[in-house]
Amino acid sequence: MTQRELAEPRTAAPGRSTTPRSGPARTRKRRVGAGTRAPWWFLLPALAIFTLIVVIPSWRGAFYSLTDWDGLSPQFNFVGLDNFFKVFRDSAAGASIMNTAFYAVGIMVVQNFIGLLLALGVNSAIRSRNWLRVLFFAPAVVTPLVVANLWQYILSPQGALNTALRAVGLDFLAQDWLGNAQLALPAIISVVVWQFAGYSMVIFLAGLQSIPEDIYEASSLDGAGSFKTFWNITRPLLAPSMTINLMLSLIGGLKLFDQVLIMTQGGPGSATESLSTIAYKDAFQFQLFGYSTALTLVLTAFVAVASLIQFTLLRRGEDK
Amino acid sequence: MKRYTLKTGVLEVVMILVALLFAAPVYVLLNTALKAGGVTTSLAPVANPSFDNFVTAWVSGGLGPAMINNIVITVVSVFLIVVISASAAYPLARITRTWSKLAFAFFLGGLLIPGLLALIPLYTTFRDLQLIGSIWGLVIIYVGSQMPFSIFLYVQFLRSLPLDFEEAATLDGGSPFRVFWQVVFPLMRPITGTVVILNTITVWNDFFTPLLYLSGSGTNTIPIAIYSFTGQYVNQWGTIFAALIIGVIPLLIFYFLLQRSIIKGFAGGLKG
């Protein structure tokens, strides 16, 4: 079929001619295809590479999750859903699911709270606002591995944080932050927050800047205080930015890998292990290839649910 | 309008203090890297800064070849991502038939999948094809895995782009191929900027893919070179930090040159 055959019927279709040719952009929505001859085969390279690199391997992953394949030998057995039962029975996997939930929720809450405060701060009339925006966002473009290595030192027993605490007489607070099973996970969350709070900030900032100034003037004439103004005006108008931020950080937290592997390798014990780190270790260190793909499918389910919630919330927000 | 009041002044002081606290790790990074020898516990500014650590890191960390690999991988991947996703977005946005909608949904489905799901099974295929240890293998992976997001951004943009120009160009007798590359593609410049920025940062910083696909091959990217370097120089933080600084300099230059567009790209990119 030629692209002409694909494109022409659109223009000839009865009922479509009611839309004026030079109407405003909005009314064109249904008319697309009329004056364009976008060749369908332009799609092929993208389709081919996406299918080969993402779709087929993902299906193969789903297939291997039903086997006991070790990733190397030519033979493997079907084990049905055993790998999935094992995910929910295995205490290491269970711990990593809990940890992953902690990472995701912890990062989501703290990063966006700080990001919002930073955004409100740099959206004011302060003279240093442009400098501060550039500074706060800078860590977000840096390699996560580099940030993790830097903080690994800062949080080590002889590291900068403990040195600073001792210097101000808070010796009793000094400790092995990443070697403590209770503190290691919150410590990793803090590092991620330090790196990406500026990312949340720029998304909130874009939202804040789209709020017309006169709404605030009217509110201040009415004598509303700054908290009341924030709660009644800023908060509802920031809802779309909030949705994007919450979901981006949630999904980022669910997928957390680099920071954990660098700072703690999942330890002490399995206190900081995430779904991604155990899936990686099971596949490449323990030759549990089938089991590893089952773990990644569980992760995929979490990420897909989070993404679908995001789409739904955003769409609902746009309708209003 | 916003006026500079006493309250603003207080806020300014508070924000600058927050910024100093926020930047403290960067001070630790620079200060430790500039210190010769192994003593790293003091926080005082280093008395006689030396660049010895940078020399050691550059030479024994193999950062030169890794840097070249990173640049080649990033430039080639981002170029291919732009060309392939922009052209795919054209029929996806302009043709309203069912197959086109289904194809777009097929790509969007990729946004729901974490990279890990495909990357582990793909490893066995690449191993059989002997693509492990090849930077071109990585390029193929980046192009494939960045398709959904890039196509999404292009389609969103194209849908709001009026048809007038391409209609005129078509009436003038331009072939669809020329109409796209000479008329439509230049009009998509703003979103191409966003696609380039977001993908450059993602590809440059990626650790997981080269960890799997380059491991043990002797071919490194910056993150992998630093990773194996930290394994060899355990606790020699001065040298490690010098390597970290060298590793992020290209990206920081990119950031400070284009900060306005980069911040805008990140802030708006996902809303499309």
Go through chain B and tell me how many residues it has: 272
Q: Do A143 and B116 touch (CB under 8 A)?
A: no
Which token pair is B101?
A: 């909608």
Inter-residue contact A177 to A187 (CB < 8 Å): yes
Helices (H), chain A: 3-12, 44-50, 56-64, 82-89, 91-122, 129-141, 144-154, 160-167, 184-209, 213-221, 226-229, 235-237, 239-254, 258-263, 275-284, 289-319
pLDDT of residue A3: 36
Q: Do B226 and A146 touch (CB under 8 A)?
A: yes
Inter-residue contact A275 to B92 (CB < 8 Å): no
Give residue A80's region: left, alpha or beta (phi > 0; psi -120 to 50): left
Spatial distance between the Cα atoms of A37 and A39, rounded to a whole number of angstroms: 6
Q: Do B94 and A49 touch (CB under 8 A)?
A: no
pLDDT of residue A11: 35
pLDDT of residue B122: 92
Residue given tokens 């309250």 in the structure block: B7
Report the run of H or E that residue B190 belongs to, with start and end.
helix B189-205
Which residues on neighbouring strands pair with residue A78, listed in sequence order?
A67
Using CA of residue B248, residue B254, residue B255, residue B256, what is the dihedral sign? Answer: positive
Q: Which residues of B touch A136 (CB under 8 A)?
A: 19, 22
B270 pLDDT band (50/70/90 cuts)? low
Which token pair is A319?
A: 């309708």
Q: Do B8 and A308 touch (CB under 8 A)?
A: no
A284: CB partners within 8 A, 6+ apart: B212
Q: Do B176 and A57 touch (CB under 8 A)?
A: no
Q: Which residue of B63, B87, B94 is the best one to mutate when testing the A interface, meaning the one whose CB has the most A CBs within 10 A? A: B94
3-class DSSP assignment, residue A78: strand
pLDDT of residue B37: 66
Q: Which residues of A touch B114 (CB under 8 A)?
A: 254-255, 276, 296, 299-300, 303
A174: CB partners within 8 A, 6+ apart: A161, A162, A165, A166
Residue given tokens 């099974």 in the structure block: B121
- Quick check: B197 contacting A, CB < 8 Å? no
Spatial distance between the Cα atoms of A144 and B24, rounded to a whole number of angstroms: 17
3-class DSSP assignment, residue A242: helix
Residues B105-126 as b or e (16 or more Cβ within 10 Å = b): eebbbbbbbbbbbbbbbbbbeb
* pLDDT mean for each 10 residues of chain A (320 residues): 35 38 44 63 95 93 89 82 86 90 95 95 89 93 93 90 89 90 95 96 91 80 78 84 88 92 90 93 88 91 86 69
Q: Who among B94, B121, B230 is closest to A32 (CB)?
A: B94
pLDDT at B239 over 80: yes
Inter-residue contact A193 to A103 (CB < 8 Å): no
Higher pLDDT, A316 or B40: A316
Q: Who among B120, B205, B255 is closest to A293 (CB)?
A: B120
Spatial distance between the Cα atoms of B265 and B272, rounded to a whole number of angstroms: 10
pLDDT of residue B32: 87
Query: A162: distance to nearest CA of chain B, Å?
Result: 9
B234 pLDDT band (50/70/90 cuts)? confident
Q: Do A279 and B96 touch (CB under 8 A)?
A: no
Q: Between residues 8 and 37 of chain B, which touch chain A (CB distance below 8 Å)?
A: 8, 11-12, 14-16, 18-19, 22-23, 25, 28-29, 32
Q: Who among A35, A43, A283 is closest to B170 (CB)?
A: A35
Residues A232-261 as b or e (16 or more Cβ within 10 Å = b): ebbeeebebbbbbbbbbbbbbbbbbbbbbb
Residue given tokens 């596949």 in the structure block: A283
ipTM above 0.85, yes or no: yes
Report the run of H or E that residue B202 belongs to, with start and end.
helix B189-205
Give chain B's domains with CATH numbers: 55-269 (1.10.3720.10)
Q: Which residues of A touch B87 (CB under 8 A)?
A: 42-43, 45-46
Average pLDDT, rounded, for chain B: 88
pLDDT at B1 over 80: no
Torsion of CA B262, B263, B267, B272, to 10 degrees: -20
- Written in H, E and C, the secondary structure of A141-189 is HCCHHHHHHHHHHHCCCCCHHHHHHHHCCCHHHCCCCCCCCCCHHHHHH
- pLDDT tens string B118-151: 888 898 889 888 889 999 999 999 999 999 999 9
DSSP string, B9-67: HHHHHHHHHHHHHHHHHHHHHHHHHT--SS-----SPPSS---HHHHHHHHHTTHHHHH
Query: A80: distance to nearest CA of chain B, Å?
Result: 18
- Terminal Cα-to-Cα distance of chain A (whole angstroms): 42
Give chain A's domains with CATH numbers: 82-319 (1.10.3720.10)
- pLDDT tens string B53-98: 899 889 888 899 999 999 999 999 999 999 999 999 999 999 888 8
